[in-house]
Amino acid sequence: MKRFAAALSVLSLATLALAQTTFLTIGTGGVTGVYYPVGGATARIVNEAGVGLRLTVESTAGSVFNISAIRDNQLDLAMAQSDVVYQAYNGQAAFEGNPFEGVRPLIGLHAEPMHLVCLANAGVNEFADIAGKRVSLGAPGSGVLFTVQAMLAAKGMSEADVSAEYLRPAEAPDFLRDGRIDCFFYTVGIGGAAIRDIMATSDAVLVPLADPEFAALIEEFPYYAFATVPAATYGARQPDDVTLFGVKALFVGSTALTEEQAYLIVKAVLDNLEAFRAIHPALATLTAEDFLTGLGAPLHPGAERAYREAGLLN
Ligand code: GLU
């Protein structure tokens, strides 16, 4: 009887623990990108903190899909580009007339430079040279396509100036390797697997993106920045530092996330900063101060509490 009672209480404790667990889904990107491993490792850190949250990741089309899915309550959390978050919050570009005022960043993450990778024999030495070439501009729903559209507009060009393809990040490198396209774009953290692989296995080049028109975009919009890819990051085919134009990755939620949930997530990451930085080379140089820059929309109040407690905010 005593054993039965003990077994019963263990069972009811387990049931209670489960009942008190909140399950949250994080939208990421393609499996060959940086969002997916970073989202997965963030989930692990939060889950291991044992604070009643159970985070899982989903591979998705990327930023624009993620932000729309948070708005539709299909996702609770996501990785997303700072330009997409800013324009969603302010109802601009793809979000024109349809602002998402409830989007709330939790953590500012790594730099996401736009990578323009071309076959060496395509003769593309700068952005404008893509005119007339077969170029993958990014898949629908990706942040890649979103940022490429802004860059094309800044250069006075449009999608019609290229023979456009809209490939997923897992497909584009294979198309390039097979000579079915000349170039592809990918906004991704420095050292992303997809870029490393293609640069190692085909005669490809990483095209510098330091045009004055991009400098003007950075002047106008705080969520853009230049980033330098250190020489040889992508092996022998990238012998020199390359300056790229790009954005920043953010970990976002919305006002649907409670103050406590957002607080617990950010606190778990802050408490495990070393482990977090070790997840991916793109995060290696990140500081806690970087968590608070380039957010594109107001910080979630729960995140604010965690940063204040850590002495990072007044
Ligand atoms: N920035 C890309 C996008 O929003 C995804 C990059 C990644 O998966 O690391 O489409």
* Beta-carbon count within 10 A of 297 CB: 22
**Is the CB of 113 within 6 Å of ligand 1?**
no
Distance CA 188, CA 35 (A): 8
Residue 141 near ligand 1, beta carbon < 6 Å: no
Number of Cβ within 10 Å of residue 98's Cβ equals 11
Atom of ligand 1 nearest to the CA of 80: 4
**Phi, psi dihedral angles at 297 (to 5 degrees):** -160, 165
Q: Give residue 94 CA to ligand 1 midpoint distance, Å.
A: 17
Residue 147 Cβ inside 6 Å of ligand 1? The answer reads no
Q: What is the pLDDT of residues 180-239, one digit of tens each?
A: 999 999 999 999 999 999 999 999 999 999 999 999 999 999 899 999 999 999 999 999
Distance between Cα 81 and ligand 1 center (Å) = 7
Quick: pLDDT tens for 74-92: 999 999 999 999 999 999 9
Answer whether 162's CB lies under 8 Å from 130's CB: yes
CB 18 within 8 A of CB 41: no
- Which residue is associated with the tokens 């996702």? 75
Q: For position 19, what pLDDT does the model report?
A: 63
pLDDT tens for each residue of 27-38: 999 999 999 999
Least reliable range by pLDDT among 128-137, 231-240, 277-286 = 277-286
Q: Is 66 in the pocket of ligand 1 (CB under 6 A)?
A: no
pTM of the full structure = 0.93
- Asked whether the predicted pLDDT for residue 1 surpasses 50, the reply is no
Q: Does the beta carbon of 40 sit less than 6 angstroms from any atom of ligand 1?
A: no
Instruction: State both tokens at 190.
Output: 């420095």
CA of 154 to the centre of ligand 1 (A): 21
Q: What is the pLDDT of residues 234-262, one digit of tens each?
A: 999 999 999 999 999 999 999 999 999 99
**Helix, strand or coil, per DSSP, at residue 103:** strand
42, 65, 144, 147: residue to mutate for ligand 1 pocket, most atoms within 8 A of CB: 144
Q: Is the pLDDT of residue 295 over 50?
A: yes
Is the Cβ atom of 283 under 6 angstroms away from ligand 1? no
Question: Which atom of ligand 1 lies at the shortest distance from residue 35's CA?
Answer: 9
Residue 68 CB–ligand 1 contact under 6 Å: no
What pLDDT sits at residue 16? 57
Q: Which two tokens stand for residue 299?
A: 């910080």
Does 98 have pLDDT greater than 80?
A: yes
* pLDDT of 9 higher than 80: no
- pLDDT at 2 > cutoff 70: no
**Token digits of residue 213:** 């028109």
Residue in 193, 194, 208, 206 with CA at minimum distance from that of residue 232: 206
Average pLDDT in the 108-116 region?
Answer: 97
Q: What is the DSSP letter of 60?
A: -
Residue 129 has pLDDT above 90, yes or no: yes
Between residues 166 and 13, the one the model is more confident about: 166
CA of 159 to the centre of ligand 1 (A): 20
Average pLDDT value for the chain:
94
Among protein residues, the one with the nearest Cα to ligand 1's atom 6 is: 188
Residue 20's pLDDT is 86
> Helices 259-271 and 35-48: crossing angle, nearest 10°?
100
The C-alpha angle 230, 251, 276, rounded to 5 degrees, equals: 60
